[in-house]
Structure 1
Amino acid sequence: MELTTVWFAVIAFLWIGYFVLEGFDFGVGILLRVLGRDEPERRAVVTTIGPVWDGNEVWLITAGAMTFAAFPEWYATLFSAFYLPLFAILVALILRGVALEYRGKRDDLPWRSRMDTLIVIGSLAPSLLWGIAFANLVRGIPLDASYEFVGGLGDLLSPFALLGGVTFTAVFVAHGAIFLALRTTDELRERANRLAGWTGLVAAGLAVGFLAWAQQLRGDRWSVLIAVAAALALVGGLVANRVRREGWAFAGTAVAVALAVTSLFVAMFPAVMPSTLDPGSTLTTAAAASTPYTLKILTVIAAIFTPLVMLYQGWTYWVFRKRVIVGV
């Protein structure tokens, strides 16, 4: 297997890990004011992600760094085309991080209310914008023969892209609700379980429509099969949630997110930035890749450090696996 293919798979894996883990973070943040009806409940909601949210963002940082190192042309085209959406995501993530860190620094309800608002905004905006960005990666954007973006912001807001934004957001909300049902107790757990049920149905409907459209635009037999498996996993997670098996329910939505993102990358390959102007202007893995020597060095580094990082993060989740009790 060529190293360009290996590194496309590595970067896809990093994005999959990011959306599976940060996805429930975003969902929890969006639901902070919906499920947290008073200060003790909101504190409990924030506590469920407190030890892990910053570690989850490492996947995004690593995905960006590895894209820059392994596929510099992809990185350059991506950031030139999606400059405004990516800048908005960065600002939202900074505000969210500040709010999560400083929420408990003052024993003042108005202060905490303002931080809660920033957490909601900082979770909702990236969910929507990441969906729009990935929908455009599948659909394609206007690129010229030099792989330069020649469109405008309006070209990124097609109906398919907007559906992608809404779908990502809905799936993350359901994923986050199931995570809260898994990590909380008593009445908060009950409300999270009920909310996961109906938001999951909405997310399932949107996901089926979005993935079907994506496969029609740019798919093959394998991406279609993976998309179908993602839909089945999501349904299985919702069934498990209904019978109060939150662990299996969370596993179901996590697998559904992972398979759905996998289907998008499989549908794209070998393109990394499809062109809507001319198929000859499509940026592929071969055209975007670094030199073979650079890819070999990166492969050695990734083989050593990636398992260590995953083990550490797995240990973190194991240590903080217990349910959060409201008021404690």
Structure 2
Amino acid sequence: MATFLGIDLPTWWFAVIGAVFTGYAILDGFDLGAGAIHLLFKKEESRRIALNAIGPVWDGNEVWLVIGGGALFAGFPEVYATLLSAFYIPFMLFLMVLILRAIAIEFRSKETMLWWRQLWDIVYSISSMMIAFLLGVVLGNLIQGIPIDENFEYQGDFVQLLNPYALLTGLTTLASCTMHGSIYLVMKTEKRLYTKLSIMVSDTSRFFVVCYILQTMVTLVYFPNMSATFKAHPTLFAVPLITVLIIINTRILLEKGKYMLAFMSSAFTMASLLVTVAMNLFPKIIHSTINPAYSITIYNGASSEKSLSIILLFAAIGVPIVATYTFFVFWTFKGKVKLDESSY
């Protein structure tokens, strides 16, 4: 098997796709979180400021989702096909609320009527929550595995996907996004809204910590296979340990009012959680609950070596360009939000 820097190509692609989806979780996570708490702002000016805080970046953040989906299709077509067939209804709901969220952001300020703006505020907030929650449901099912047969075909139904563990993972994902989003908003606001958000970030971070502890306990009790990697390689236990320390650090930074550092710490929290999941799944991507032999791994679900090598080259060129553009946009629109005639 062909390698690059001593690592085989399927492993490289597993890492690349994981990095791209992690980037999406961090970047779109904070504007989804900002949308989730949007209805908690009662004043029109506060809602406009919160909306304009994500205004320049929300659509660019979603580019990472497109890149991740394209990379998954190119690198692991069997995984792509199985995921889309197994999670057909959740993905259709996901696309629907993704479209509704974009419409709500763009349409809200087109008219001045109170009922019009309140309608789109509700659509925006609910769709933001649904996106984060549905992504968590998909992740929860991947962690515990789904019933796929020897042909990689899903043998369950939609109701099976809404199992308690998947719903808990969806709630934890939503909690992570609300913490991440509230920290971002407190960095972008001032005066009374800043004061309100200073209290809110403390509440959202506590909510996340509770969800994280519950998620960890349930995972260790009901899915001991998720700790198998750490048992086989004890040194890797450093990753979940670092995750716990980062979460504690985030809470400390919030209490001290160091919001920029807290935002970075929150981003590292999301990244380390996803890395922990990836480490325990590897080399599997989709675990079969019917028979482990039917699972899709990075090897039996990958494209040909030639395809992987070609698209890896494209990824090496394209991903840094998108990352540079993303950094440029954030740098350009840094600082507190100021409303003007061009604002939402």
User: Which residue number in structure 2 is paired with residue 23 of structure 1?
Assistant: 29
Task: Provide the C-alpha distance between the structure 2 equivalents of 1:159 and 1:104, rounded to a whole number of angstroms.
Answer: 39
Which of 254, 279, 284 pairs up with 2:297? 284
Deviations 1:133-154 (A, max 9, x none): 0011111000111111001122
Q: Structure 1 CA distance, aligned partners of 2:205 and 2:236?
A: 23
SS at match of 2:73: helix
C-alpha separation in 1, matches of 2:244 and 2:59:
29
- Give the letter aligned to residue 226 of structure 2: R
Q: 1:308 to 1:326 in 2, by over 3 A?
A: closer
Contact 1:99–1:118 under 8 Å retained in 2: yes
Q: Aligned residue for 1:257? A: 270
- State the match for 1:143 in structure 2: 148
- Contact kept in structure 2, 1:223 and 1:264, CA below 8 Å: no
Q: Answer yes or no: is 1:323 the counterpart of 2:321.
A: no
| Kept in 2: contact 1:131–1:168 (CA 8 A) | yes
- Name the structure 2 match of 1:166: 171
- Between the aligned partners of 1:265 and 1:94, the Cα distance in structure 2 is 29
CA distance in 1, matches of 2:160, 2:188: 41
Counterpart CA distance in 1 for 2:226 and 2:294 is: 16
Alignment of 1:1-328 (within 5 A): 1-34=7-40, 36-214=41-219, 216-219=224-227, 220-221=229-230, 224-325=237-338
**Does the CA contact (< 8 Å) of 1:29 and 1:120 recur in 2?**
yes
CA distance in structure 2 between the aligned counterparts of 1:223 and 1:256, rounded to whole angstroms: 16
2-side partners of 1:210 and 1:29: how far apart?
A: 23
Distance of 1:125 and 1:24 partners within structure 2: 14
Deviations 1:290-325 (A, max 9, x none): 000000110111111111110011000001111114
Structure 1 length-normalised TM? 0.96
Q: Output the CA distance in 2 between the equivalents of 1:307 and 1:72.
A: 23
- Shift, 1:212, TM fit: 4.7
- What SS does structure 2 have at the residue aligned with 1:272? strand
**TM-score normalised by structure 2 residue count:** 0.92
Deviation at 1:210, TM superposition (A): 1.7
Does the Cα contact within 8 Å between 1:211 and 1:260 map onto a contact in 2?
no
Unaligned runs of 5+ in 2: 1-6
Aligned counterparts of 2:242 and 2:132: Cα–Cα separation in 1: 22
1:238 Cα deviation after fit: 1.7
Distance 2:207 2:225 in 1: 23
Structure 2 CA distance for aligned equivalents of residues 229 and 275 of structure 1: 30
Query: 1:171 Cα deviation (Å)?
Result: 1.1
Q: 1:190 to 1:208 in 2, by over 3 A?
A: same
Q: Once the 2 structures are TM-superposed, how far is the Cα of residue 44 of structure 1 from its aligned partner?
A: 0.2
How large is the Cα RMSD of the aligned pairs? 1.5
| Structure-1 separation of matches of 2:214 and 2:277 | 14
- Asked if 2 retains the 8 angstrom alpha-carbon contact of 1:79 and 1:86, the reply is yes
* Cα distance change of structure 1 residues 281 and 8 upon mapping to structure 2, 3 Å threshold: same
The one-letter amino acid of 1:197's match is S
Identity in percent: 34
* 1:219-238 deviation line (CA, Å, top 9, x unaligned): 32266432332222122112
For residues 238 and 281 of structure 2, the distance between their equivalents in structure 1, rounded to whole angstroms, comes to: 15
Map of 2:3 onto structure 1 = none
Once the two structures are TM-superposed, the CA of residue 102 in structure 1 deviates from its matched residue by 1.7
Mapped partners of 2:203, 2:96: distance in 1: 31
SS at match of 2:335: coil
- Write the deviation string for residues 228-283 of structure 1: whole angstroms up to 9, x where unpaired: 32222122112111111110111111110111111111111111110111111111
Instruction: Give how far 1:217 is off.
Output: 3.7
Q: C-alpha separation between the residues in 2 aligned to 1:283 and 1:51?
A: 39
Distance 1:115 1:258 in 2: 31
Structure 1 unaligned blocks of 5 or more: none
